[in-house]
Every structure is written in C-alpha cells, then in structure tokens.
Amino acid sequence: MKKSHPKKTGKSTQNIKVEALAEVTPNPDGTRLTTNQGLVINDDTNSLKGGERGPSLLEDFHLREKITHFDHERIPERVVHARGAAAHGFFQCYKGNSELTKAGFLTDPSRKTPVFVRFSTVAGSRGSSDLARDVRGFAVKFYTDEGIFDLVGNNIPVFFIQDAIKFPDFIHAVKPEPNNEIPQAASAHDTFYDFISLSPETLHMLMWVMSDRAIPRSFRMIEGFGIHTFRFINAAGKSRFVKFHWKPLLGMHSVLWDEAQKISGTDPDFHRRDLWDTIANGGVAEWEFGVQVVEEKDEHKFDFDLLDPTKIIPEEMVPVQRIGKLTLNRNPDNFFAETEQVAFHPGHLVPGIDFTDDPLLQGRLFSYTDTQLTRLGGPNFAQIPINRPTCPMHNNQRDGHMQQIINPGDASYHPNTVGGGCPMQARENMGAFVSYAEKMNGAKVRGKTAKFFDHFSQAALFFNSQSEPEQNHITDALTFELGMVKRAAIVDRMLFLLAKIDAEMANKIAQGLGRVVPKSIEGRLNMNVGADAGKETETKPVKKSSFTSPALSMANTVKDTIKTRKIAFLAGDGVDEESLAAMKKALTSEGAIVAVIAPHGGTIKGSKGGQIPVDFSLLNAASVLFDAVYVPGGADSVAAVRADAKSIHFMNEMYKHCKAIAATGEGVELIRASSIKMNDKAKGKNDKTDPALIVEENGDAKKISAKFIKAIAQHRNWDREKIAKATIPA
C-alpha cells in the first residue's frame, strides 16, 4: 500500500499551542520520550496508519510495546492487606542494647537505619475504603548493615487463630461470600460469624476489632505489634523472649463508626491522603519502638502460653521498654514500584533476633515466600529495588524469571575451588546468623498444650479494661455486626459465647437484636471432631476479675498535643479578622492545620477589608474530615454561613461526634441556630457542663484559645454521646 502524507495546509491549532509553550519554557536538555529499549520517540500521540483515516499498521512497534506493557502492568493484588500506603524513613535506637541483642541496628545509637513502612487494611480489596472496620497492617522493612529485617505486624497485638493451618479458612470466612462477592471489606456477614462462633479462640481478637482501635483517626495514630513472641540473642549467646511494640508519639485516636461510614463516602482515601499530605507538607510520622522482655526461666510463669498468638502479656506484668524511634519523612516516588511491589517476610532476620515455636509464626514463614513467587512473578523478587538489601549480597542463586543481576565467574555452587571458594560460609564471630540452639523434645503430634484452650479470660480482660464509652462502642459494634447476620443459629451461638466474656454486654446486644441470650446450645456448638474435640469450645464463664490493664484503653493515650489536627473555621464575608487571625495563630503555633470554609470558594472579605483565602466551600467540605470547628464573629459573616443549611448540619455533626467546638462574638449564634444544647446561663463563658463547647460572646478569641487547644487535644468529649444521640438529628 502506498503511504499517503498529510497535505501541508499550515500549522494545526494543537501544534501552535505546543510551540508557544515551548517558547515560554525552553528545555533543550530535558528528558526525551523513548521506548523501553531507549529509542527516542517523536510522536506519542498518533499510531502509525495506512492513511490518515486508514487502519493501524502491525509494524508500529511503539504502539505494540506501549499497549502490551499496559495490558500486563497489573500484578495480582495481595490476598490480604491489598489496600495499603507507605513511606520511607529511618530508625535510630536510643542507647546500646547489647545486653539484650547483638542486632547492630539496635545496639549502635549512632546508626540511622533506613526503613520502608507499609500500612494496610486486611480484608478489603485495593479499591475498598480506608475506613472499613478492620485490622491495620503495620509492616516495617529495616535495611540494616547486616541484611533485611522485616517486622511484619498489625495494629492489634493478637491474632484470630492459634495455628497457621486455620489461616485459609479464616480468610475465606471473612472475605466476601463466594456466591455473590458481598460484602466488600466487612466482617458483618454470616460466614465470618459462623467461623467465629465455631472457633472460640477468635474471641479475644474479636473484642479488639469491635473496639475503636479498628477505625483509627490516622495511620499516624495507631500502635503496632509484632504479634508473635520472638527471641533476642546477645553476643554471649543468651536468649530471652521478646514482644515488639510501636507506640505513636501522637497517641492513639479513632473515629466513630458513624463518622467512618460517612468518611468512606466523602473521602475513601482518608488515611492514605493523611499520611501522604503530612509528609508532603514537611511533617513526619513518629513511633517509639518498645520491647517486652521475658527471661527464659520465666517462660511458664504465666496463666497463658507465650507461644499463643491469641494472647498478650499485659504491660502491667511486663512493662514495655522504649529503646528507639521510628521516623517517616519521605513519600514514595512511585506507588507501584515501591508500595505495591514491596515484599515483606517474617523470615527475614538479622543476627540477634530469632523465632520461637509459635505455630502461627511457623506457618507464616512458608506462606510469605510462596505468595511473593506468585504475586511478583518468580524467585527474583528480592532484586526489585524496594526489596534489595543495602548491604553486599553474594550467593549462588541463579537464573529464574526476571533475573537482574549479571553474575560473573565460573562457579555457581558451594563448595568450590574454581571460584576460590567464594562465596564462602562465615563463622558466627564473623557476623553470621546462627539459629538459636533450642532444646526440643516430645512426640510428633497434632495438638497444643492445655494453656492454649483458655479462650475467654483475655477477651474479658480487654473488655473490662475499656472505659465506659469504649465498652459502649464495642457493644454497639457487635449489635450492628450481628444484626447483619441472617442465620439465627449463628447469632445464638455468638450471644452464648459473648455471655461468657461479659453477661451484661451480651444481654445488651441481644436486646438490640430483639433476641435473648441462650442458656445452652451444647451439641450445636462443638463442630470439631479431631484431636481437640470438646476442648476448642470450652464454655466455662470467666470469673469477674478485679485485674484490669489500663494500657489496653485508648482513654489513657497521649492527649497533650494537637499537632497535625485539622481545624475547620466557618466564615463568610464580613468575618471578624482579628478573631480569625488570633485563633489561627494560636492553633498553628501548636502544629494544627487550619482550613477556612465559606459559603463560596475563592476569597472572603474581612471586617477590615482584608481578603482571606477560602480552602473549602460548604459544598465540598464535610465535618467528618475535621477534628474541631471554630466560628469567628462578624454579623454579616455568621448570617452568610447560617443561610446555608449545610453549616447547621456541619455543626450538628461536630457535636454528635463529640468534637471540640468554639465560637466568639456573633459566631455563638450559629451554635444557637443548631440542635446543640448550650447552657445560656453561662452568659458567654465556657459551658462547664461541656468542656469541649467553648464560647466567648465578646469576640475575644485569645481568651478561649488555650481552652480550645486543650479540648482538641482530648480528642473527644465522650460524655456528650448520650445527649447527642437524643437531641441531634441523623
């Protein structure tokens, strides 16, 4: 076919625009568009055709390469922890900890060990919401001088199951039901609670997942845990048991379930956006690294087994020693190349850290490698840049899919003389990893020790350690979840088991469901006919204990900072500039972020003629995206804001969600116009019955800024919940 050429009819409008732009921003040395083989491309807009309106030609190698790459640019998403966000940073220990471990990154305070940390939800797909009620993954990759160390954990210190052999069943149960792929990223359905009700070992973690910890305010405000019991080994060969903890410097904070549902509709990327924006704006995310250490001689002194991943060591029994700090300060350059391709593995260890015989951990050692082989295309996933160690790497692993290392030399085996014996084995005193010489005894069995069968004591400990609002939230969450279960027999089994944890809680849930707690369901509960028949479903009630663990309650978290908290200012034309500026200065000096929300975008005019930029209009701002609200004075401003019904809804939701509210001057009228019950007897002073409702009718923002800051730092005034439920419309 004869190739035709376009007629020279002058420059197109598109070309004129491009040339004009080039004249304005010349960049003759800029990067050129190329193929994957480096061939420079002059037209990435039009495919090669047989005539302007003719068919595309097979010889267009650039089109074929580009489309082929696009067709294959998605890899299988993770079966669990599919939806994630990540950041780079560093870890630094506070002092030498050589008495505990010989791990270099934990013994040399001068080292700044690079890290890559990925946060995630567990049950949902990549496209699900950040705000699902779920466990949050907290996986840390340390690029140490001795190799990669992966601390693969969650924001909850226990797991649903005790043995890895149950993991596929558990995940199948919590995932969307196979007949209709519903519901997405939710545990409120029959198959999940069927599994839970037949596996009482899950009850401890269920309490955690139904608590406020499962709907955090931010990734930056969650704890992290290694879950399993590991070993520390020092240079002398002494071993100790250890549990790993991450403690957020901002404290632990959550959102309400009602907020979570609304945030999912308003901004399903809420957590990912928060982490990204914080770092992009020059901020950091910080945690302290803590360890609980148990001497080997004390291994059996507890009422529970240290190898049981459904149990914690209460911090009141073994305090957490804070030995270092994790700082995240750099966002990934490319989500796919880094966040999506990063491969964690609990078997990536360094000298000084080793395993225990935790049966869940042992199964994970196989599972992670097997998963990466499928997800990342073969055995060379460790060569992907985000997964490469920063220390030298020498071995005889060769070839395979996507091999990227060109290995010179004649020898690819050990031992050898052809290659001078290299790479050679190292002795322990040369920094080699040597597995701890743990004594082993006993017959080969499928089973577990008696301590593994207490499924209720720690579930009760967790519930009893919560504050009253937190207990109410757990009760409400279980009522909601079980209300979505269609099979009555499953609900009855759950109520029966929950009553063994706390009878009052179970009765409240039953009342909310219009049911009663069964007195007995023997014969319908025990579905285990294996070696543990009759043990897994032990249903002795837990005796009410006076022992509680304050560390388990979020009521006792850090509440002395408002750093990075987002504060909404509702204002319109005519706003009191002095009050707005004074409150903004007070809040931002404490590290908070202020956003002006107005009836319209652009700018608003201040009372002294100034132009104030608007961050959001009432049309695209939602109260659930902010931690507190301030309404400055100015009669015209308040009238303009009040004229938009969304402002009243904004205030009502802030109150309903127990957040701090402040107003000065005429701004108080917006509170009165809402459904918020304000104590007018206070006559312009702070309402003592609600320390998170702060007003000053004379318009002086400086008088109330300190009280407002204190109220925001408290995160919520939970005492308001009962009032809000009765008075604030949904």
User: Catalytic one among 62, 81, 189, 715?
Assistant: 81
Residues 701/586, Cβ–Cβ less than 8 Å:
yes
154 is catalytic: yes
Residue in 62, 88, 97, 154 annotated catalytic: 154
Annotated catalytic residue 455: no
Q: Please give the backbone phi and psi of residue 438, each rounded to the nearest 5 degrees, phi first.
A: -80, 135
Main-chain phi, psi angles of 86, to 5 degrees: -150, 170
CB 481 within 8 A of CB 193: yes
d(CA 329, CA 331): 7
Q: What gap in Å lies between CA 142 and CA 118, rounded to an integer?
A: 12
413: three-class secondary structure by DSSP? coil
- Burial, 499: exposed, middle or buried (Cβ in 10 Å; 0-12, 13-18, 19+)? buried
Q: What are phi and psi of 164, to 5 degrees?
A: -60, -20
Is 626:568 a contact under the CB 8 Å cutoff? Answer: yes
Q: Closest Cα to residue 105, out of 150, 151, 152, 143?
A: 143
Q: Distance between CA 314 and CA 35 in Å, rounded? A: 58
Q: Say how far apart CA 459 and CA 598 lie, in whole Å.
A: 47
CA dihedral 327, 333, 335, 340 (to 10 degrees): -70
Q: How far apart are the C-alpha atoms of 64 and 383, rounded to whole Å?
A: 27
Question: Nearest 5 degrees, angle CA 596-CA 597-CA 600?
Answer: 120
| φ/ψ bin of 699: left (φ > 0), alpha (ψ from -120 to 50), beta (otherwise) | left
Task: Report the catalytic residues.
Answer: 81, 154
